[in-house]
Amino acid sequence: MIDQFYYKPLVAEVGKEDAGKQVRTVLERRLGVSRKLLSQVKLTEHGLTVNEQRVYTTALVAEGDIIKLRMLREESDDILPQPMSLEILFEDDDLLIINKPAGIIVHPTHGHYTGTLANGVVYHWQQRGEKVRFRPIHRLDEETSGVVAIAKTSYVHQQLSEQLQAGLVNKQYRAFVYGEPASRLGTIEAPIDRDQINPHLRVVTPPGKGYPSVTHYQVSAVYTDGCSLASSVRLKLETGRTHQIRVHMKHIGCPLIGDKLYGLMEAGNRLWEETAGRQSLHAEQLGFTHPITKQYMEWTAPLPTELAQLEKLLNVTNRKR
């Protein structure tokens, strides 16, 4: 009966070193449970128990006691379920990993209440009979494809958010850019903030202003037809600012091919046209430690068709070096 209303509980058996401590101390130390989550579950009948008896967070425990923390099942009632083709890379009781195509927004926003990844995921869960709230760990721009992670409980979301902030999540991207970076291997360390004239855009700001932003890159290949240059680049984010890769690559003189906001919109540009109306940025790899199993997991999404075709065009019509 409890399972109808609660997610699978988090369980901690009290060891000798934790005997005599408060429940909240044990859960914070052993499972990294936040004070915010504890304050939510303690208000529910079965949210926090020791040996199946309801307790307060300040209750003292003894060696061998079994602490269980149960979170109420939640749904995204404000998101309309919509059937959608989803490329699911992984799913268990705690996580959903999806390879998102370009042209889809991750979460509903003003003016985009339907047709988002969230609409499709909520429908997917509804068909599986799961009562889950949509909690993306990170987001990709509408025209960026690739791996997206979605938490299925507030605890998993909290844990992965902390991994992100601590720089423990491996996020690697693939991009095709105009020009050639000054070095084959480098780090772009340049603060980013909103453009004061156009708040929808982000710009690199002078040192001491904006938000610290770090992007590592490695050039995989450089293509030239004798007149123009293009490069294939792999990138790894150390920070996760809005539009970070796009802004940083423009900053070093190598804007993304197909980028409508920060790229080169040249009429008749064959590389621009080859991207099929999307920016050439793909979240190729995502890896982190599973909050429940504690195992490191990694997922990879191959280049989508339109970017694979762009790469083929560059290989065929340009000299690679």
Q: For 35-82, how does the pLDDT look when each residue is reduced to its tens digit (9 = 90+)?
A: 889 888 888 888 999 999 999 999 999 999 999 999 988 888 889 999
Inter-residue contact 89 to 98 (CB < 8 Å): yes
pLDDT of residue 205: 95
pLDDT, tens digit (0-9, with 9 covering 90-100), for 201-254:
999 999 889 999 999 999 999 998 666 788 999 999 998 899 999 999 999 999
Average pLDDT over residues 13-23: 93
Q: How far is CA 182 from CA 166, 186, 231, in A?
A: 30, 9, 11
Q: Is the pLDDT of residue 259 over 70?
A: yes
Q: What's the chain's average pLDDT?
A: 91
Question: Which of 221, 131, 137, 205 lies closest to 171 in space, CA to CA?
Answer: 137
Helix (H, G, I), strand (E, B) or coil at 97: strand
Q: State the pLDDT confidence band at 265, using cuts at 50, 70 and 90.
A: low
pLDDT of residue 273: 63
Q: Is the pLDDT of residue 313 over 90?
A: no
Residue 320: its H or E element: strand 319-320
pLDDT of residue 317: 66
pLDDT of residue 111: 79
pLDDT of residue 215: 96
pLDDT of residue 224: 85
Known catalytic residue: 141?
yes
pLDDT of residue 263: 82
Average pLDDT over residues 169-194: 95
Q: Where does CATH 3.10.290.10 sit in the chain?
A: 2-69
Q: State the pLDDT confidence band at 278, using cuts at 50, 70 and 90.
A: confident
pLDDT of residue 274: 65
Whole-angstrom Cα distance, residue 91 to residue 313?
Answer: 35
Whole-angstrom Cα distance, residue 21 to residue 58?
Answer: 9
CATH of 2-69, one of 3.40.220.10, 3.10.290.10, 3.40.50.850, 3.90.220.20: 3.10.290.10
pLDDT of residue 110: 81
Whole-angstrom Cα distance, residue 237 to residue 171?
Answer: 6
Residue 307: its H or E element: helix 305-317
| Dihedral sign (CA 110, 114, 118, 122) | positive
Q: CATH number of the domain at 88-165, please?
A: 3.30.2350.10
Q: Is the pLDDT of residue 1 over 70?
A: no
Whole-angstrom Cα distance, residue 102 to residue 82?
Answer: 18
DSSP per residue, 211-279: B--EEEEEEEEEEE-SS-EEEEEEEEESS--TTHHHHHHHHTT-PBTT-TTTS---TT-HHHHHTTTS-
Share of the chain above pLDDT 70, in %: 93
pLDDT, tens digit (0-9, with 9 covering 90-100), for 120-177:
999 999 999 999 999 999 989 999 999 999 999 999 999 999 999 898 999 999 999 9
Catalytic residue, candidates 94, 141, 193, 259:
141
Average pLDDT over residues 79-100: 97
Residue 305: its H or E element: helix 305-317
Tell me which CATH homologous superfamily contains domain 170-320: Pseudouridine synthase (3.30.2350.10)
Which residues lie below 8 Å from residue 277, measured CB to CB, with a gap of 6+? 103, 143, 258
Question: Which of 72, 221, 182, 200 lies closest to 133 in space, CA to CA?
Answer: 72
Residue 118 buriedness (CB in 10 A; 0-12 / 13-18 / 19+): buried
Q: Where does CATH 3.30.2350.10 sit in the chain?
A: 88-165, 170-320
Q: Is the pLDDT of residue 266 over 60?
A: no
